[in-house]
Chains A and B, each alone.
Chain A
Amino acid sequence: MRTILSTLLRNPKAAVGLGIVLLFVAVAVLAPLLTPYEPLARVGRPHEAPSWEHWLGTTRIGRDVWTQLLYGARSSLLVGFATGFLIAGLGVAVGITAGYVGGWVDEVLTFLTNVVLVIPNLPLLLVLAAFLGQAGPLAIALIIGLTSWAWGARVVRAQTLVLRRREFVQASEMLGEPRWRVVAVELLPNLISIVGINFIGSVIYTVITQATLEFLGLGDPLAVSWGTMLYNAQTSSALIVGAWWELLAPCVAVAVFGGALALVNFAVDEVANPRLRTLPRAPRPWSGRPIDTRRTQGAGQ
């Protein structure tokens, strides 16, 4: 575990990504210290441009955009990470069960996974959210979690199938280890990178999807989050009246947070899959520069 972490941190992509993510977490936790205002209080004139009093300007109802951004990070990060755990957990549960138990259990679970995978997610979420009425952050976390586990399950199942045939798993089975122990001690540690990638990817997906659902007006309009900021900016025609700050702030927040997590994911992938590791200075036979003898031969082609 420690080696994984230290390898990760030596990767510049991971270091930058993790740094930005931690900054967002810190900002979300310390929100009340970083602003004198309340997120839903009217503290200025409508659509004030950025100034020393209001770093990112104000919204149409005179709320402070910087304050909303800080408090919005709480909702977006909390929903993102919680749902990420839910999606990754469901994926592991379904994937390992299907891959390790096998037989008809595998058939049923794989079929279910494939069906969930092929039904488009956002339309499904729109129907769910519409029937729930104005969905608060918790409801949004739940419906995203329950509809998005299929991809993780598929990947975990495939890897479990590979691992199950390895000697060390078969050895511990022959020693008479109980199933849960084989799963917990032999399989799970070897799935950690796949599960990690799935977790981070799910956090990105959740943050994006929450913002999207709320932007569409399916969220709770009184909750403070990046999505409701986008929604309020869109409904108050912020762009057309020139209040770009109201729209740009949540846009940049979502983009930077998602991008940072993506960098971490890229790095985890490199650490987990040595073939993807690229060391620019190491000479490689397949670097694409043709060797002379081959070129003369190839000329006849």
Chain B
Amino acid sequence: MGFLLRRLAFYLVAFFVAACFNFALPRLMPGDPVDIMFAQADASLPPEAQAALRATFGFVDGPLPAQFWAYLKSVFTWDLGISVRFYPLPVADVLGRAAVWTLFLVGTSTLIAFALGTALGIVAAWWRGGRFDSLVSPLSLVLQSVPAVVVSLLALFVFAVSLRWLPPGYAWAPALDPSWSLAWFGSVLQHAILPLATLTVVQIGGYLVTIRNSMINLLGEDFITLGRAKGLSEVRVMLMYGARNAVLPMLNSFAITIGAVMGGSLITEIVFNYPGLGNTLYQGIIARDYPLIQGQLLIMTLCVLAANFIADLANYRLDPRLRTE
């Protein structure tokens, strides 16, 4: 339990740092922070909404510590202010609704990419230097360094615009209303194929190369030889002796991966006009909706921290050393 509690405390601090960043940034910019943040709002928000918005970000009368306290209170009561672009909706609502779609994309594609990438990486490491390995490993490395913008634009161009196999945008067909009907679910699935495939392609190379390299490093170890010497089947040695240990470092690098995938998802959603965080944010960026832009940092950080905690739980389950501590 000590391990998990320490991780939780760490995540709390990390979230606090992200919040501090949001507080400090407008105040560090040259010029009047209120002017910077609410120039757009002045034009489009009624005075009482503006006053509420200012209070949310700690622009109250008083010294900096008092302002900081006011700001922290609003963050930890999940009051992220009012969106300027989507007035009168609060930022937490706008982003919360959109986050569902993003989590759907990120979660599903991560599962697919993790499963496929790990399986292929194990095979590549086991028969390293073979034909499969020397084709797939460099290829996935190259794939890993192609940005999500490029993959999604190419996918959009080939499959939606040229071949017309799949719809070019949004999460469901405009003719349907969201309902728990089969037609609507089918439409959602059909619209999700391209963004999901894009995100899977973006991620899979990273998983494959990581587990391959980590497993190759393990294959010379004595316990692999021991497994063989015990006369265990090849598949058992590969999976239970090699892969199980090779997966651990992967879970540790999850922290960086998941943040990058969330970033990739933002871009993919914009290209496919998908109603997730990315698209909402894009409209916010165009309108210079600072409360919304700041709110997404907190929501995204929260999602990444939650994903990290899930990885910690998996680590805890797989690695007995963490439990006996």
Contacts and interface: CB of A to CB of B under 8 A. Distances in A.
A115 B149 CA distance: 27
Nearest to B217: A275
Contact of B216 (A122, A123, A275, A280): A275
B145 A126 contact: no
Contacts of A230: 149, 153
A130 interface: yes
Interface stretch (A65-73, A184-192, A286-294): A286-294
Given A240-B161, A276-B216, A278-B134, 11 more contacts: A118-B10, A122-B266, A127-B294, A211-B149, A212-B148, A216-B267, A217-B286, A234-B271, A275-B216, A278-B133, A298-B234
Contacts of A300: 231
Dominant SS at the B interface? helix
Contact of A280 (B22, B134, B137, B305): B134
A121 B267 CA distance: 13
A9 interface: no
Contacts of A114: 10, 14
A244 interface: yes
Contacts of B282: 216-217
A293 to B, nearest CB: 9
Interface hub of B22, B156, B217, B260 (most chain A Cβ within 10 A):
B260
B243 to A, nearest CB: 13
Contact of A255 (B134, B150, B288): B150
Interface stretch (B124-132, B182-190, B316-324): B124-132
Contacts of B153: 230, 234, 239, 247, 251
Interface stretch (A34-42, A48-56, A168-176, A262-270): A262-270
B47 to A, nearest CB: 24
A120 interface: yes
Given A275-B217, A288-B127, A115 B281 contact: no
A118 B293 contact: no
Contact of B308 (A118, A124, A261): A118
A258 interface: yes
B127 A13 contact: no
B301 A123 contact: yes
Interface string B223-267: 010001001111010100000000000000001101110110011
Interface in A101-148: 114-115, 117-124, 126-128, 130-132
A14 to B, nearest CB: 11
A160 B149 CA distance: 36
A301 interface: yes
B290 interface: yes
Contacts of B296: 123, 126-127
A117 B257 CA distance: 10
A298 B301 contact: no
Interface string B1-37: 0000000001101100110011001100100000010
A130 B14 contact: no
Contacts of A266: 137-138, 141, 209
Interface in B51-102: none
